[in-house]
Chain A
Amino acid sequence: MLEQINTSLIDWSRAQFALTAMYHWLFVPLTLGLALLMGIMETLYVKTGNDFWKHNTKFWMKIFAVNFVIGVATGLILEFEFGTNWSNYSWFVGDIFGAPLAIEGILAFFLEATFVAVMFFGWERVGKRFHLVATWLTGVGAAISAWWILVANSWMQHPVGMYFNPDTMRNEMLSAESFWEVAFSDVALVKYFHTVLSGWVLGAVFVVGVSCWYLLKHRHQQMAMASIKIASIFGLVSSLIVAMTGDLSAYQVGKVQPMKLAAIEGLYDGGNSQGLTVIGLTNPAKERYDDGVEPFIFEWKMPYALSFLATRDLDGYVPGINDIIRGGYTQPDGTVALSAEEKMKSGRNALNALDAYRTAKQNGDAATAEAILPALEKDVKYLGYGYIEDANELVPNIPLNFYAFRVMVGLGCYFILLFAVILFLAYKKRLSQMKWMHWVGLCSIPLAHIAGQAGWIVAETGRQPWAIQDLLPVNAAVSSVSAGSVMTTFIIFLVIFTVMLIAGIGIILRIIRKGPQEA
């Protein structure tokens, strides 16, 4: 048995979960996007009876299948890693967090699994319309599945609808109605549209990129142009909505995760009328929030933009990392922020009160337990801070968040431009002649994957050290397993996933080289 949790165990556990999530997110967004595009193309087939659309649908379906199986494989691991690597988390919040995962399985995953089989194998076994319904339901299943997963993730960013029960030593739902608060929180809503539509953007970029390759090679040009037109309309609309929801998401982060926003900006000393850093170079010499080292070697800011993004007011107050650690500023809800030291002290008081409460209960001393309760209730909100030793632990990795955010936003803007230009050229009938544009389209495929990965890095590492924001830090969420065991499984997963990735890419390239059946 472990005597104490060490940082090596936490790091390997985090690395394993991050590895699985990142590989998962290499494949799943493409299935989200392709599912919808396949639905549109098959609908055109059923409406027009033109085999051209059937062959197109079947072609993209083959690529979808390769992505689907890797997405399923990595998704299974993610679910079980909550138990294997984050067992304390599973108990501490399983009462709330487990429900969305179970609902995902019952309502969404079965829908997807049932109709994906009809979609793949049913072309000659079921009627045209039934097959079309199956294709759409596969996409609907994937979208519903994403809803519940993102509800769970949003709850980790902004936990609502629960209270701490000292008798069971965990967080529980406040009432049956709390479930709705969890399932339809504003954060979940915005995160859902931002994340799923970023998958649609990736799907559209992929279709445009592969089609551009066919134009470069002068093969399947009719199919390529038709796919580009559909994908670029779809991609343009999706990327505009992603931009809007991204803006909403930043506003929410400013309200509920101010440290994440400060980390994204590398903002140490906040204030009113803050500018948004458009480009900058972080200073590697800066190691602690309070070491006095300048955070940037250089930076260029857009005046007032950060205040507007976070508060919808050009003069709005945005706290920096030092402000959040020091406390004393007025928060969006009108209360004055406590300092990190005060929260950590309250957290330790809560842990001590909890220990005393439990001891009294075990000794059958109900009166003492009852007397301890008010002290516990006073500080329980900061219970998670009791596991924090040094205020510096509360600061996420600044360079990682700073650059990942800019990569995500920069590429998001690029995709809007890309789809607009390609759409314009496609309808002006100039695209098929413009070789350089074909290369641009093709080279955009990895960029879409990078944007998605960068988004998840911001979402997850910006929340550190918290597994659940302000409620449970990772050092209190981890399983009691040796760091060596987790390191070994990390390496095994790394090998398996990488082989899967290389094999998957190899197969997809073969499918693309072979191309769709000619009508």
Chain B
Amino acid sequence: METYSCLQHYWWFLISLLGGLLVFLLFVQGGNSLLFQLGKNDEERSLLINATGRKWEFTFTTLVTFGGAFFASFPLFYSTSFGGAYWAWMIILFSFVLQAVSYEFQAHLGNLLGKKTYQFFLVLNGVMGPLLLGAAVATFFTGSNFIVDKGNMSNFSMPVISQWTNSWHGIDILFNIWNWVLGIAVYYLARMLGGLYFINRIKDDTVVLRCRKQLFSDAIMFLFFFLAFLVRTLTNDGFAVDPETQYVYMEPYKYLNNLIAMPAVLAVFLLGVIGVLWGTFKGVFVVGSRQGIWYAGVGTVLTVTSLLLCVGYNNTAYYPSIADLQSSLTIANSSSSPFTLEVMAYVSILIPFVLAYIFYAWRALEKKQITREELKNDDHAY
């Protein structure tokens, strides 16, 4: 494989990994969506908010880095999806903005809207964030309505190269039932991860017992929607690319073929699914176990990473256009130049160092579980 292609594959791997980490970190949103179900009074809600409130910056930072990395490595996606599916991304952004301030604001007097309103914003982001991010990712498999014509650059009055072909500008993502299905699956996955995280972080029998019960029903819902999407995706036509001509065409069982053609990706996928199931099993049935989040978390990262690799590797169009197949984005036609990818590849060598200090700081901060007693004495508690 030539160097440029290697760099494109390397960067798609990093994007996939960041995507996996982002979905794992949606446990913050999932946990928030459960705020009023698991927390029956102010004290219990405070426990839940303080548990996720010490991690929300990571989800936010990963979202920003995910965006930045996409911008730097595959700018045509950035240009086409964000500029085209305008409303879908804007609604996601609105919900994340509200979440960012809500932790801090709900804990203070003088916050204008009252504590409950900010807690409602946390729930809103907890539902909308995973649902819409999941639906947006589903379009990688189902396609979107756009055309790309780089020749427009020389058009004096209309130089925009990427255009959405309808006036819905991203709302149309919700017109495809399968985008909903993956969105709902991601929503329930986030709730499962949130529940498992609470079980790990909170030392309170009442709340933990509720988490375990809730986890079971969320897991059932997740499995139903995830399996439905998986079966549909593996048995349907997919968006294939001719490696010689870059011609995009529909190939039966494309994503199943991809997994078979890339056994390592298949193995990672299966390992990930087993991790999620095992973590969930421990959370629901093994009383006293707090480790479910680690199995399910690692499983989530592996599953999502492998699914994104499946949609980008092996001559596949990762952001297909259903308005014009030949406008579909592939890792070859949408990436940055070799020089930019090379420079960025050097920068990416620092990622393990970043992960190491995050792990170190996380461990140092989380040696003790959160208790009701501690929150009463902590002057920065939410």
Contact = CB atoms under 8 A, between A and B. Distances in A.
Contact of A102 (B58, B68, B84, B362): B68
30 contacts: A1-B164, A1-B165, A3-B158, A68-B104, A70-B101, A72-B60, A72-B100, A83-B83, A87-B79, A97-B71, A98-B78, A102-B69, A102-B72, A103-B347, A105-B68, A117-B54, A122-B365, A169-B151, A358-B150, A358-B151, A476-B153, A478-B160, A479-B86, A480-B164, A482-B169, A496-B97, A503-B111, A506-B112, A507-B109, A507-B110
A58 B379 contact: yes
Nearest to A104: B68
Interface of A: 1-5, 58, 61-62, 65-66, 68-70, 72-77, 79-80, 82-88, 90-92, 94-99, 101-107, 109-118, 120-126, 130, 134, 165, 168-170, 172-176, 178-179, 348, 351-352, 354-355, 358-359, 362, 386-387, 475-476, 478-482, 485, 489, 492, 496, 499-500, 502-504, 506-507, 509-511, 517
A98 B68 contact: yes
B95 to A, nearest CB: 11
A121 B380 contact: yes
Given A80-B67, A114-B358, A496-B98, A2 B336 contact: no
Contacts of B72: 94, 98-99, 101-103
B54 to A, nearest CB: 5
> What is the predominant secondary structure among interface residues of chain A facing chain B?
helix
A105 B358 contact: no
A469 B11 CA distance: 30
Interface string B68-82: 110111011011111
B93 interface: yes
A173 B343 contact: yes
Given A88-B160, A117-B55, A500-B101, 12 more contacts: A69-B103, A79-B64, A90-B82, A91-B76, A105-B65, A105-B69, A114-B58, A125-B368, A358-B150, A480-B83, A480-B84, A509-B110
B96 interface: yes
Contacts of A107: 347, 350, 354
B156 interface: yes
Contacts of B64: 75-76, 79, 105, 109
Contact of B108 (A90, A476, A510): A510
Interface size, B (range): 35 or more
Contacts of B157: 4-5
Which among A176, A496, A509 has the greatest number of chain B C-beta atoms within 10 A? A176
A107 B31 CA distance: 28
B260 interface: no
A499 B121 CA distance: 13
A503 B351 contact: no
B104 A65 contact: yes
A125 B364 CA distance: 7
Contacts of B154: 351-352, 354-355, 358
Contacts of B80: 87
B54 A94 contact: no
